[in-house]
Amino acid sequence: MVVARSSTSARDAEPRAVVQDAPSGSVGAVHVLPVAFLLTQVLARCVDSLGEGDYRYVPFIVAAFVLPLWYASGLARRPWRTAPWALLAVQAVLTYVPFVLLGNGWVGGVSGQLIGLVLLVAPRWSWRLALVLFLVEGVLWNVVFSPPYLPAVNGGIWVLVAAADGALGLFGLVRLARVTGELAATQDELAKAAVLRERLTAGEHLVSAVEDRVRLVARHARSALRWLSTTPEDARNEMATAGRVAREAVSRGRRLYEDRTRITVPGQPVGTAPAPQVARAVLASVLVLFAAQNLLNVLVVPTGYPMDGRDQPLALIVPVLASAATPLLQWRHSGATRPRYWPLTLAVQAALCYLQFAMMGTLGLIFVAFLGASVLLLVAGPWRWAWFSVTMLSAPVLGAWNDAASMSTPLLLGWIGYLTATTTSFGLMAYGLSRLAGLAARLAARREQLAALATVAERLRLAQDTHDLLGLGMTTLALKTDLITALIGRDDQRAARELGDLVSLCTTIGADAGRITGERPELSLSSEFARATDVLDASGIEVTTHCAPVPLAADADTILAIVLREAVTNVLRHSTAQRCAITLAAGNGTVTLRISNDGAPPPADTHGHGLTNMRARVEALGGLLTTRHSRGTFVVVAELTDAHA
């Protein structure tokens, strides 16, 4: 909002803001407010020249805002990355040449655009260089030239406040938009990183829980094979140890599965994202600068703004109270949620704003912009924009009413345009910093939640694969150690063959564990058919198989292989089967895998994670998995349509 007016033209002391990279979707709105802020700043200065009849600085004003507006638009950003110092040099020329040509007829605070761009595009030296430019601003206005209005103390400080407000507003909104865009753009990357982290953790647990023990079983099996022909007792001891380790591996594998299925759905993350912190810090700084300028206007009244009744106590008490309370109220209104009793605090803010006008005249309208921002932040529904417009228009209406007697018609019209544009611009700035900070916080929270949910999904996937891929192998491992122990001394030739199969099985289990932490387990239905036949036969179960030559798509082949493996695991674990039949058939565009066995327990005992996992996998491909129990026979049927390669 306006702070003071020079003897020749109105000069504002408020910040100018820009926005940078606009993300897509709901985040795209980050461009609108900052660009609107810049355009209203340009408009304010141009209409001010119409009232004054001094058009000399209009081209320089327009030129000084071209590069900030370009940066705000987010278009053709590459030159800002490849040649930032050249563009900053151009902005410096556009900022300081008017000083040479116009002296103190140049517009105070425009240098803030240059300082803001330095903060944004020269991060290594940004704050040091910005401080140097700020000092140059003070020297130019207070030493080389004269302040834009009198008394010199007020005018000289005002130009520094205007430049600081401009730089902070530009930096805050652009930086906030950039971080907001980056947050939105990197959501998928964060989720992928979370999945990879979970996969790495799962891999480490699998190594310690399963793979190390499986390797130990293979070592004992090889040792037993060496002892088999000479000292069967030592071979039997080795197999006893191998059996114990195998059962430990089974137990640890089941525990790993249970641990990974204990899922807690993530809630709202706790903490504050960097982007909101930047926005809040900039908003706080701007509020403090406005409050300081307001106090300065009371203590050192600018020339041309007589304050009637200045000696009255209220003329000092009200501005001091407004300078202290308005920043606190605005800060309260700019939080992530509407505060309690907000109608009361908004009414207090409005009362202080307009009561100060009654005490100070036009100078007292400095806080109208923040009142408008509070209206946008607190009032719900589309009518808030109507109330915002009314609030913004109150500044030019009251200013024109207060100054009409001392201004000509052209000057009054320019003054009304200037007040309207500059008040609106700073209202949008305060609203933008507050609302975009909330948006960035929500995006950061959503990003973290997405990563957490991706971790949950990966944990469930890993749990499924641990159960489905390792279950049969681990069960078979334990059964084979028992079988070999029983064969030693009775049928050493078969025991030797089984020991060789056991070592091979250990290798296969290790490979399956590696598949679990890969993108997807890659299994072959044909190899699972052979493996199922061997395992069931080794367990004394009569196996009948019929596998039609059906070319399957990769996903269908993997899913049916997993279904077959899990079904055979259930036969070994949960039944006293004597016979098992496995059939793969195709017809009418449907591929059907059927596994049946006798010796099945009652249905209540056949339910578990395995069937749930199988059903989920089949349904994920648009298929159907059904089970049937009748007279001690259990049947699993998986049907997939469009499964042919």
Q: What string of DSSP letters covers 450-517? A: HHHHHHHHHHHHHHHHHHHHHHHHHHHHHHHHHHHHHHTTT-HHHHHHHHHHHHHHHHHHHHHHHHHT
Structural domain contains residue 509:
no
Q: What is the pLDDT at residue 636?
A: 93
Beta strands of 37-132 (E only): which ranges? none
Structural domain contains residue 552:
yes
Q: Which is more confidently placed, 8 or 53? A: 53
Q: What is the pLDDT at residue 504?
A: 66
Structural domain contains residue 84:
no
Q: What is the pLDDT at residue 362?
A: 86
> Coil, strand or helix: which one is 414?
helix
Distance between CA 424 and CA 55 in Å, rounded? 23
Structural domain contains residue 611:
yes
Tokens of 345: 């605090």
> Coil, strand or helix: which one is 311?
coil
Distance between CA 453 and CA 450 in Å, rounded? 5
320: alpha, beta or left? (left if phi > 0; alpha if psi -120 to 50)? alpha
Q: Which residues contact 198 (CB under 8 A, 6 or more apart)?
A: 455, 458, 459, 462
The pLDDT of residue 601 is above 90: no
Picking from 513, 465, 467, 520, the residue whose alpha carbon sits closest to that of residue 204 is 513
Distance between CA 498 and CA 309 in Å, rounded? 108
The pLDDT of residue 20 is above 60: no
DSSP state of 615: H
Model confidence over 183-234: pLDDT tens digits? 666 556 556 656 656 555 655 565 556 667 777 777 888 888 788 877 888 8
Q: What is the pLDDT at residue 467?
A: 57
Q: What is the pLDDT at residue 269?
A: 43
Pair type for strands 542-547 and 579-587: parallel
The pLDDT of residue 132 is above 50: yes
- Residue 466's pLDDT band, with cuts at 50, 70 and 90, is low
Q: What is the pLDDT at residue 13?
A: 34
Structural domain contains residue 103:
no
Mean pLDDT of 282-294: 91
Q: Which is more confidently placed, 499 or 357? A: 357
Least confident segment among 30-34, 44-48, 479-483: 30-34
Distance between CA 459 and CA 200 in Å, rounded? 11
Least confident segment among 119-128, 130-139, 403-412: 403-412
DSSP state of 552: B
**Residue 119, φ and ψ in degrees, nearest 5:** -60, -30
Q: Which residues contact 299 (CB under 8 A, 6 or more apart)?
A: none
Picking from 325, 350, 198, 354, the residue whose alpha carbon sits closest to that of residue 263 is 198
Contact, 201 vs 465, CB < 8 A? no
Mean pLDDT of 379-392: 91
Contact, 542 vs 580, CB < 8 A? yes
Longest Cα–Cα distance in the chain? 122
Distance between CA 309 and CA 290 in Å, rounded? 23
The pLDDT of residue 158 is above 50: yes
Question: Counting beta carbons within 10 angstroms of the beta carbon of residue 330, is it exposed (0 to 12), middle (13 to 18) or buried (19 or more)?
Answer: buried
- Residue 377's pLDDT band, with cuts at 50, 70 and 90, is very high
Residue type at 589?
Answer: G
Structural domain contains residue 506:
no
Distance between CA 520 and CA 595 in Å, rounded? 24
Residue linked to tokens 């605090």: 345
Pair type for strands 10-12 and 542-547: unpaired
The pLDDT of residue 260 is above 70: no
Distance between CA 145 and CA 20 in Å, rounded? 34
Structural domain contains residue 571:
yes
Mean pLDDT of the chain: 78
Least confident segment among 275-284, 336-345, 441-450: 441-450
Range of the domain at 533: 523-645
Tokens of 518: 């890969």
State what percent of residues in the chain have pLDDT above 70. 73
> Coil, strand or helix: which one is 339?
coil
Structural domain contains residue 593:
yes
The pLDDT of residue 25 is above 70: no
Mean pLDDT of 619-643: 88
CATH of the domain at 596: 3.30.565.10
Q: What is the pLDDT at residue 88?
A: 95
Number of domains making up the chain:
1
> Coil, strand or helix: which one is 151?
coil
Mean pLDDT of 347-368: 92
- Residue 86's pLDDT band, with cuts at 50, 70 and 90, is very high
Distance between CA 1 and CA 9 in Å, rounded? 15
The pLDDT of residue 28 is above 70: no
Q: Which is more confidently placed, 111 or 105? A: 111
**Residue 542, φ and ψ in degrees, nearest 5:** -75, 125
